[in-house]
Structure 1
């Protein structure tokens, strides 16, 4: 009898411990939906007791995040010497000093593909970069080239979830002797990516670039897709961006002139960056590649030239831009020489707007068909 009473008395304690454990687990790994990560824009501030000036002293002081190293909490309009530190969204951002990092635990669907979008601004070294990790995957994003007049750019990085709970880490590997020196970061968002499928009448997947990374609705500078190893999963899958440090810009119809649909790509890095997709072909068979070349309506004017390559064929398409939008169609017919053929687009020159920022031709609505299949379709 006494033993049974003891069990009855201890059961509420066990239940309470289980509830506490569940609550802790809910805080430590946030269930993810498309859009901002929990406190992804850092508007939930650290308690002043865990701050020393702008430096965050508490490891868990920034709600939803865990920090390591020299991390600063920066308010809009704050100065670094004579330089004003702007914030792209809201009132606050975070600055990562040398070897500093910030991380958050995320709950994902194992096996699904995702893209992270975030904003960053260089404040010190010319060659600043950021390491992005979604355990166990990691990548390096160069932020040395600035593509906007504000100094802020939005970047994307894609991955396949290897686990249902992962650690998302942003790390400044440090290229300066100054402990506090490092990039400003803000506005972290996530988007579930649906691997594009081939559509009828087009051998290219995602030829209209409708599937891509999250674009912040309140920013007007698009999202950069940085260079990647060919084995990496692209935010513009299955398109791959080949370069050393330069990017292409993913743009939307809400802020730019887009030839078709709601999304397109602006080639903002001249001949230093190529965009390609590899497709299955039959050696000896003829194919027709068609695509749109135009301008984004962002003041990028002049001769905007794109060169397209496929197998041994190539074509240059020039659009005379007034910077107000518009496009023309390009055509390349070629004969496949291999079972796998790379379709490649590259801008043939650096172009800048009146404010000195980089811009370039827009690519959209790319399609590839077998000439034999195309003729049968026309009949």
Structure 2
């Protein structure tokens, strides 16, 4: 029977634990940031035409530089400005940025997902940062025919509050020639570990960035992304072009709910380094298919395990389906690099302007007894 004096201490301990739990749960926000779709706009008094005046004029955001508030269907000369979700977006002109502070759990990994569209500048890019991490996302290549792409970028929270900044570092003659930004979201990442069932991490691609439920174009994992801060935990994008992260809600996926589409031929590659034992035999198995997105034709996925390789042909009708493949190899070092890319460039048959490619999923690496 606890003493009367013990009760206050026990209650205090429970209250502290509950408060810590509530604080941690408050930090894990999966979905749109506050006013992440920019549907809450500035007051009329804070607008000069389309230009926003005032650092805090856009609710929940802090802005700097030449920022415009754009309505879907608005025209710039002969160009029609399209907004991917809702009715409004912001445009970042020369050296302009938007910023928001968000509570996070220190030490956790997070992925940002946002939609962006190039307007009239040709060499547009975006600098995304959460101090001390930052990255430059190129926007020269358009992967979807609707004019918009969604991008993912990841960071590790070093503080309890993340200062999220999206910045246009471009300097154009026309300050309005900057990218449109819409639908900024976040997702907490829980990087999986290798196990005796799979020596690769996240081989099923189930752990990855937030995918907007009302979009049909997937999420791009940008090029030159290292695995330390990858929005696709465990994997690196070792190529000049992005890979596309797709979900079963909008695409055909061989296994589970998520997969990767290799959308830019040999310029769109993903890799992972696995721990291996020299002289031991391993089997790399994976699924190759199409996303049921009118990506038709002869496709080939090339898989590499160290110096060993296999080419897996897949004849796509663009209506879904997949086949399984195996690469058996003997390890020659304590680290073996596993890599995949698509041999050919493919365009969707329904619009002839959207890059597409074979789907990769259910990647497993297991050791086997030597014969």
Normalised to the residue count of structure 2, the TM-score between the two structures is 0.90
Aligned-residue offset at 1:350? 0.6
> Hey, what does 1:134 align to over in structure 2?
130
Contact between 1:125 and 1:175, CA under 8 Å: does it hold in 2? no
Q: 2:357 aligns with which of 357, 360, 365?
A: 360
Q: Tell me which residue corresponds to 1:48.
A: 44
Cα drift, residue 232 of structure 1: 4.2
The answer to whether the 8 Å contact 2:66/2:93 transfers is: yes
8 Å contact kept, 1:281–1:339:
yes
Q: Distance in 1 between matches of 2:303 and 2:27?
A: 42
* CA-atom RMSD in angstroms: 1.3
1:336-347 matches, cutoff 5 A: 336-347=331-342
Q: Trace 1:264-283 onto structure 2 (pairs within 5 A).
A: 264-283=259-278
Whole-angstrom distance in 2 between the partners of 1:364 and 1:349: 18
5+ unaligned residues in a row in structure 2: which ranges? Answer: 1-25
State how far apart, in whole Å, the 1-side matches of 2:195 and 2:82 are: 43
Shift of 1:179: 1.4
Q: How many residues align?
A: 344
The alpha carbon displacement at 1:198 in A equals 2.3
Deviation at 1:371, TM superposition (A): 1.4
- What residue is the counterpart of 2:188 in the other structure? 192
Q: Aligned partners of 1:45, 1:32: CA distance in 2, in Å?
A: 26
Does 1:208 pair with 2:197?
A: no
Aligned twin of 1:17: none
**1:238 corresponds to:** 234
Provide Cα deviations, 1:117-171, integer angstroms capped at 9, x if missing partner: 0000000222211000101211111111111111100000011101111211000
Q: Contact between 1:270 and 1:360, CA under 8 Å: does it hold in 2?
A: yes
Aligned-pair CA distance for 1:228: 2.8
> Structure 1 residue runs of 4+, over 4 Å off?
none
Cα offsets for 1:180-214 (capped at 9, x unmatched): 21000000000000011224421111111000000
Give the Cα separation in 1 of the matches to 2:348 and 2:248.
19
For the pair 1:329 / 2:342, whether they are aligned, the reply is: no
2:227–2:234 CA contact under 8 A, matched in 1: no
1: CA distance between counterparts of 2:193 and 2:28?
24
Q: How far does the alpha carbon of each residue in 1:216-246 deviate from its partner, in whole angstroms, 9 at most, with x for none?
A: 00001110000134364111111000123x1
SS of the aligned residue for 1:302 comes to strand
Hey, what's the Cα distance between the residues in 2 that align with 1:297 and 1:181? 35
Query: Contact 1:35/1:191 (CA < 8 Å) preserved in 2?
Result: yes
1:107 paired to 2:135? no
Q: Partners of 2:98 and 2:274 in 1: how far apart?
A: 39
Stretches of structure 1 that go unaligned for 5 or more consecutive residues are 1-29
Distance in structure 2 (CA, Å) of the matches to 1:67 and 1:369: 50
SS of the residue aligned with 2:369?
helix
Indicate the SS of the match to 2:63.
strand
Give the match's secondary structure for 2:150.
Answer: strand
Whether contact under 8 Å (1:127, 1:175) holds in the other structure is no
1:78-117 paired onto structure 2 within 5 Å: 78-117=74-113
Contact preservation (8 Å) 2:95, 2:171: no
Determine if contact 1:128/1:175 at 8 Å carries over to the other structure: no
1:319 aligned to 2:314? yes
Q: Quote how far apart the aligned CAs of 1:176 are.
A: 2.0
- Residues in 2 aligned to 1:176 and 1:310: alpha-carbon distance in whole angstroms: 45
Specify whether residues 237 and 288 from structure 1 end up closer, same or farther in structure 2 by C-alpha distance, changes over 3 A only: same
2:3 is matched with none
Partner of 1:4: none
The one of 247, 250, 253 aligned to 1:252: 247
What is the DSSP-based 3-state SS (H/G/I as helix, E as strand, rest coil) of the residue aligned with 1:62?
Answer: coil
**1:123, 1:184 within 8 Å by CA — same for their partners in 2?**
yes
In 2, the alpha carbon distance for the partners of 1:226 and 1:283 equals 33
Question: Which structure has the larger Rg over C-alpha atoms?
Answer: 1
Choose the corresponding residue for 2:148, options 138, 143, 152: 152
Normalising by structure 1, we get a TM-score of 0.89
2:299 aligns to what? 304
The 3-state SS of whatever aligns with 2:266 is helix
